[in-house]
């Protein structure tokens, strides 16, 4: 009898402009403390750096590394190509910007069968290799950074709406279909929706931890946040049940702080004869940017332990996450995503 921990595993990884991270990511996969047979399929997008050279070197060094080309470079297309080329009964999505804990696969496969789930995910443990990246990672861990989702800040083990990355039984793709290639982002949430609608479990296991290295430039972080907001807005257009109250907070913050700044600008121009109601309204609006600044300071002070320099950088990280995301969400909710790309990765 084949035990769950003996099942062969196929890892699938979409790759685009990841020359600096790819070798570490692949090494963390092939070095898993797991007795079953392994293979990893890299779906190579049209990178402008040395990613393809690194990938070719990895494939030449280890026959378990397989390459498939993804000319359009989009994540769901790459994932689908890689899944279809792979051959083993367990499919594990991995990311070139991440490194798996050594026991990730063994724990994930065990959990998959222990709770009779069809998709299992765990914690996205954001980390950094330089001060700004560590500041971004600390903001990601904060409930004030990315909204406090379970796979960012942790939660008890149990059923989940979605799963970070994902450990799948291969047959689930035959039953519910592959990733939706029309969704440039948030395609994992949509796939989990179909899995849940088919009557299967999506499961969160906090013992599964994946080191993730976020953007390490403000401009790239802003571009990523904007694209994420746009596609979350698009998703809320298509699937109203996928909308959460936490998705409304960044847009409300953008509107409130913008109006508050305008109130501060207009206030000196008002004469003493201005109606009391207008003055009271302006005074109320002026509290919004002050309140947001206070929130950012509080989140920075109470966040993950960081150096003084990293805490100073965090003061810029939170607005760089919140404002682009909020603007993007409104755009996506009203007009749709319209093919929005993450300009921090590709032009």
pLDDT digits (tens, 9 = 90+) for 71-106: 999 999 999 999 999 999 999 999 988 888 899 999
pLDDT at 249: 75
- Does residue 114 carry a pLDDT above 50? yes
Residue 33's domain comprises 4-216
The mean pLDDT of 7-35, rounded to a whole number, is 93
- Model confidence band, residue 274 (pLDDT cutoffs 50, 70, 90): low
52 found inside a domain: yes
Amino acid 244: pLDDT: 61
Name the residue with higher pLDDT: 275 or 113: 113
pLDDT of residue 154: 62
pLDDT score at 252:
80
CA distance 130 to 77: 32
Domain identity same for 29 and 63: yes
Residue 132 belongs to a domain: yes
Residue 225 counted as domain residue: no
Whole-model pTM over 0.85: no
The strand pairing partners of 168, in sequence order, are 91, 119
Mean predicted confidence (pLDDT) in 23-45:
94
Residues 165 and 86 in one domain: yes
Q: What is the pLDDT of residue 242?
A: 60
Write the pLDDT tens digit of every residue in 157-201: 899 888 889 999 999 999 999 999 988 888 998 999 999 999 999
55 and 187 belong to one structural domain:
yes
Q: Which residues of 137-169 are buried (b: 16+ CB within 10 A; e: fewer)?
A: bbbbbbebbbbebbbbbeeeeeebebbbbbbbb
Residue 187 lies in a domain: yes
215-254 burial code (b ≥16 CB/10 A, e <16): bbebebbbbbbbbbbbbbbbbbeeeeebbeeebebbbebb
- Specify the pLDDT at position 147: 62
Q: Per-residue pLDDT for 346 more than 60?
A: no
Mean pLDDT score of the chain, rounded to an integer?
Answer: 87
Asked if residue 103 and residue 203 are part of one domain, the reply reads: yes
Q: What is the pLDDT of residue 347?
A: 44
How large a percentage of the chain has pLDDT more than 90?
Answer: 51
Of the three residues 216, 251, 283, the one that is the final residue of a domain is 216
CA 172/CA 203 separation, integer angstroms? 14
Residues 193 and 288 in one domain: no
Residue 149 shares a structural domain with residue 118: yes
| pLDDT for residue 66 is more than 80 | yes
Looking at residue 1, its pLDDT comes to 41
The verdict on 54 and 127 lying in the same domain is yes
Of 81-90, 220-229, 284-293, where does the model show the most confidence? 81-90
Which residue's entry shows tokens 């320099």?
Answer: 309
Q: Are residues 158 and 299 in the same domain?
A: no
pLDDT, residue 343, reads: 64
Same domain, 209 and 257: no
- Structurally, the chain folds into a number of domains equal to 2
């Amino acid at each position: 009898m084949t035990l769950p921990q003996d099942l062969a595993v196929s890892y699938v990884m979409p790759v685009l402009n990841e020359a600096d991270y790819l070798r570490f990511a692949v090494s963390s996969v092939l070095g898993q403390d797991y007795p079953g047979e392994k293979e990893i399929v890299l779906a190579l997008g049209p990178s402008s750096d040395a990613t393809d050279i690194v990938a070719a070197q990895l494939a030449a060094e280890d026959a378990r590394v397989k390459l498939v080309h993804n000319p359009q470079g989009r994540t769901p297309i790459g994932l689908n190509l890689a899944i279809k080329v792979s051959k083993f009964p367990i499919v594990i999505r991995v990311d070139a910007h991440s490194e798996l804990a050594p026991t990730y696969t063994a724990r994930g496969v065990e959990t998959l069968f222990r709770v009779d789930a069809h998709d299992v995910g765990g914690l996205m443990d954001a980390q950094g290799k330089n001060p700004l990246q560590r500041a971004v990672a600390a903001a990601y861990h904060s409930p004030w950074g990315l909204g406090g989702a379970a796979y960012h800040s942790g939660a008890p083990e149990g059923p989940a709406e979605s799963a970070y990355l994902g450990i799948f039984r291969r047959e689930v793709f035959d039953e519910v279909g592959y990733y939706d290639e029309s969704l440039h982002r948030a395609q994992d949430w949509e796939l989990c929706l179909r899995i849940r609608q088919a009557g299967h479990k999506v499961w969160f296991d906090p013992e599964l931890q994946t080191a993730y290295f976020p953007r390490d430039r403000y401009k790239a972080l802003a571009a990523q946040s904007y694209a994420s907001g746009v596609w979350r807005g698009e998703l809320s257009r298509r699937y109203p049940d996928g909308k959460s109250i936490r998705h409304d907070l960044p847009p409300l913050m953008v509107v409130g702080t913008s109006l508050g700044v305008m109130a501060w600008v207009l206030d000196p121009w008002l004469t003493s004869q201005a109606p009391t109601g207008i003055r009271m309204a302006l005074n109320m609006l002026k509290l919004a940017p002050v309140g947001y600044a206070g929130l950012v300071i509080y989140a920075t002070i109470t966040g993950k332990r960081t150096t003084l320099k990293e805490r100073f950088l965090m003061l810029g990280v939170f607005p760089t996450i919140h404002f682009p995301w909020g603007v993007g969400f409104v755009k996506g909710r009203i007009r749709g995503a319209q093919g929005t790309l993450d300009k921090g990765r590709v032009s």
